[in-house]
Structure 1
Amino acid sequence: MSQADRMTRTDRKAILPGLVRGYVRWIDRVNRVVGLFAMYLVVAMIGILLYSSIMKAVAIPPLWTLEMAQFVMAAYYMLGGGWSLQHDSHVRMDLIYSLWSPRRRAMVDCVTILFLIFYLGVLLYGGFSSTAYAMRYGETSYSSWAPYMAPIKIVMCIGVALMLLQAFAQFFRDLALALGEELP
């Protein structure tokens, strides 16, 4: 019997520190709540577009409806990114990935998620820069409605930050699985 087989279940849980486990649970909980909220933004977008359609048939459509629907849609997919990553519902090119064991997939994911973390870090840096510019100079859209851009840019930065935090949580989850432990 090997030493790994002799380890009790409590010994195996000691692979990752309690702080990391708490972080993964906390980020999962936050992204679950934000993702469920984001799901309802589709209903808000449908309401805005329905209002626009009714007003177009009855009177002159308001200037704000199309752009507001675009803002709501942007908030929907940016705030839902962390939830999508958490539930593994993002798009994946799966040629040989599904043939691998869960542990091998976790090992590969530990490496590939580092690219996602780098990308999200760069995206967040650019988002902060763009948001700061929008806030400092009162940037508005080029449409005839001309809404301020800072609120949607703030929402987009929050969405990227939540996805980055979820990517770290996913890295820890994959690392644990690669080491022979499964995090809930």
Structure 2
Amino acid sequence: MGNLIRLYVHQMDQISRWVGLVAMNLVFVLIGVLLLSAIARNLIDIPLHWCIEFAQFTLAAYYFAGGAYSLNNDSHVRMDLIYSHLSDKAKARLDVLTDLCLMFFLTVLLIGSISSTRYAIETNQRNFSIWNPSMVPIKVIMVCAIVLMLMQALSIFFKDVAKARGAHL
């Protein structure tokens, strides 16, 4: 494979690792917000209405941002009934097929998320609650995370094509 593709694969893997590490630290934000909510509600008797929704948004950002990292580390769920019995080249060929399916799915998901984000921006969409937060930030994070997953899936596709040809990137 060409040097440009190797550079792309290397850079995407690095970006996915970095974003994944940032996403991992969102767990601490989540814990802090939920702890603050519990302390304020139970010890000080001041319910903070924004905490639960903020925790939900943080959790959504966590799993969206962690998607590319999971793909990069091959730590996603896979049914290995047949796959585990295949040769490395056959696995790579099957992976190329599933990579294409994944990229199709992520493209459809991206189209829907862009449409949803555009709607949220145009209508100033807000969550119906006491806190009434804007939905735009979490939807923008969702679009960015799906783009990153799609780019990581392309990186994996290039690696699998190289493996199927008997080479490695």
Same fold per superposition (TM over 0.5): yes
Return the match for 1:44 from 15, 29, 49. 29
Counterpart Cα distance in 2 of 1:85 and 1:161: 13
Q: Using the TM superposition, give the Cα deviation of residue 94 of structure 1 relative to its aligned residue in structure 2, in angstroms.
A: 1.3
Query: Is residue 86 of structure 1 aligned with residue 33 of structure 2?
Result: no
- 1:56 Cα deviation from its structure 2 partner: 1.3
Structure 1 letter corresponding to 2:126: T
Structure 1 residue identity aligned to 2:164? A
Q: Report the TM-score when normalising by structure 1.
A: 0.89
What is the distance in 2 between the residues matched to 1:99 and 1:162?
A: 31
How far the C-alpha of 1:102 sits from its partner, in A, is 1.8
Percent identity over the alignment is 49
Separation of aligned partners in 2, 1:180 and 1:53: 55
Deviations for 1:80-133, whole angstroms, at most 9, x for unmatched residues?
Answer: 100000000011111121122222111100011111100100101111111111
Name the counterpart of 1:26: 11
- 2:152 aligned with 1:152, yes or no? no
Taking the TM superposition and a 5 Å limit, the aligned residue runs for 1:15-164 are 16-58=1-43, 59-164=45-150
What do you get for the CA RMSD once the two structures are aligned? 0.8
Number of residue pairs the alignment of both structures matches:
168
Q: Which has the larger radius of gyration?
A: 1
Deviation (angstroms), 1:60: 2.3
For structure 2, list consecutive stretches of 5 or more residues without a partner in the other structure: none
Distance in 2 (alpha carbons) for counterparts of 1:109 and 1:142: 42
Distance 2:79 2:130 in 1: 41
Counterpart residue number, 1:10: none
What is the deviation of 1:178?
Answer: 0.3
Q: Following TM superposition, where does structure 1 have runs of at least 4 consecutive aligned residues deviating by more than 3 angstroms?
A: none
Paired AA for residue 89 in structure 2: R
Distance in 2 (alpha carbons) for counterparts of 1:148 and 1:23? 35
TM-score, length basis structure 2: 0.97
Unaligned runs of 5+ in 1: 1-15
Cα distance in structure 1, aligned partners of 2:41 and 2:144: 34
Match of 2:160 among 174, 177, 182: 174
In the alignment, the residues of structure 2 paired with residue 139 and residue 70 of structure 1 have an alpha-carbon distance, to the nearest angstrom, of 17
**TM superposition shift of 1:142:** 1.2
